[in-house]
Amino acid sequence: MKRRTTEHRLLRCDAPRRPGRDARLYRPGIHTAFRARRRPAPLRRLGSPALLIFFLKGLHLEIDIQSLPPADQYRLISSTVVPRPIALITTYSERTGHNAAPFSFFNAMGENPPVLAIGLEDKRGSGDLKDTTINIKQTGEFVVHLVDEALAAAMNVCAIGFPPDVSEIEQAGLTLTPSSKIKPQRIVQAPVAFECRKIAMIEVNPHRHITLGEVVRMHVRDGLFDMATGYIDPDKYHPIGRMFGRLYTQTRQHFEMEVPDYEAWLAGNGATIKSSGGMD
């Protein structure tokens, strides 16, 4: 007998409505999560059986995200804040040696001092802290590697939940070399590597830690640094970005926008500008 599934199907139904203008979707557990201020269009179920939403014309969808299960919160955040750079992090433990794992809740937070922020979650389904989190807590040191197209496949291997006695670094075919300022070693194949020391680790909850690290040494693959401009050459550096699920994106296409100074903007638009004080 062929098993029926709702995975990846599009389901239409009529949304139950309350009297008055306020219309809501009722479902046990999250019946107040999605709310519209007028009669909703037909309801659709997309992908996940847990996520039911209204499609409205001409209005934004108001979502009480705090009422949603964690899996649905993740879907919404990870599919809207895109693309995200990927941090392939190496850490070291006296007990287990070197570890490597990718994280996409990651970005740079400033340049003086240079600070990186990484969202570290627990092992999916177990509730246990990941080795990366444990090692940073214990040693305060880690290396952040940015991931380009050439490193993508190896990065994906490092995301596999190998047993403790199996090295994801070896399985991914990666090579380590000593760092200059810290004990955790860095990955040779990475286009950019940041040696970091922990500034702070914020425990948002037992399953989520936000780590701030100060960059104490930076390594850039030969040929990527433009000596004339002081920038990394975007025509030679091709990092990938995380979208959501299995989706990633490339960064080969660029466009430019120059911010004009106020005088230039005023000259071209002065007749239509009104000050915040109401003056013409």
Please indicate, yes or no, if residue 75 is contained in any of the structural domains: no
Please report the pLDDT score of residue 274 as a whole number. Answer: 60
State which residues form the domain around 180. Answer: 84-249
Please indicate, yes or no, if residue 91 is contained in any of the structural domains: yes
CA nearest to 240, candidates 150, 171, 167 = 150
Residue 18 corresponds to which tokens in the numbers above?
């309350």
Please report the pLDDT score of residue 272 as a whole number. Answer: 61
Measured in degrees and rounded to the nearest 5, phi and psi for residue 20 equal 95, -170
C-alpha to C-alpha distance for 40 and 51, rounded to whole angstroms: 16
pLDDT in tens, the chain (280 residues): 444 433 333 222 233 344 444 334 333 333 344 444 444 444 344 444 444 454 555 577 888 888 889 999 999 999 999 999 999 999 999 999 999 999 999 999 999 999 999 999 988 767 789 999 999 999 999 999 999 999 999 999 999 999 988 999 999 999 999 999 999 999 999 999 999 999 999 999 988 999 999 999 999 999 999 999 999 999 999 999 999 999 999 999 999 999 988 888 888 876 565 655 444 4
Please indicate, yes or no, if residue 265 is contained in any of the structural domains: no
Please indicate, yes or no, if residue 275 is contained in any of the structural domains: no
What lies within 8 Å, CB to CB, of 191 at 6+ separation is 146, 148, 150, 151, 220, 221, 224, 237, 239
Strand, helix or coil at 65? helix
Q: What is the number of structural domains in the chain? A: 2
Please indicate, yes or no, if residue 280 is contained in any of the structural domains: no
59 and 96, same domain (yes or no): no
Alpha helices in the chain (DSSP H): 70-80, 131-139, 152-158, 168-171, 262-269
Please indicate, yes or no, if residue 261 is contained in any of the structural domains: no
Please report the pLDDT score of residue 126 as a whole number. Answer: 72
208 and 160, same domain (yes or no): yes
54 and 133, same domain (yes or no): no
Please report the pLDDT score of residue 273 as a whole number. Answer: 58
156 and 214, same domain (yes or no): yes
Please indicate, yes or no, if residue 258 is contained in any of the structural domains: no
Please report the pLDDT score of residue 58 as a whole number. Answer: 58
Please indicate, yes or no, if residue 264 is contained in any of the structural domains: no
141 and 54, same domain (yes or no): no
Q: What is the DSSP code (8-state) at residue 208?
A: E
Please report the pLDDT score of residue 263 as a whole number. Answer: 85
56 and 129, same domain (yes or no): no
CATH of the domain at 111: 2.30.110.10
Please report the pLDDT score of residue 56 as a whole number. Answer: 55
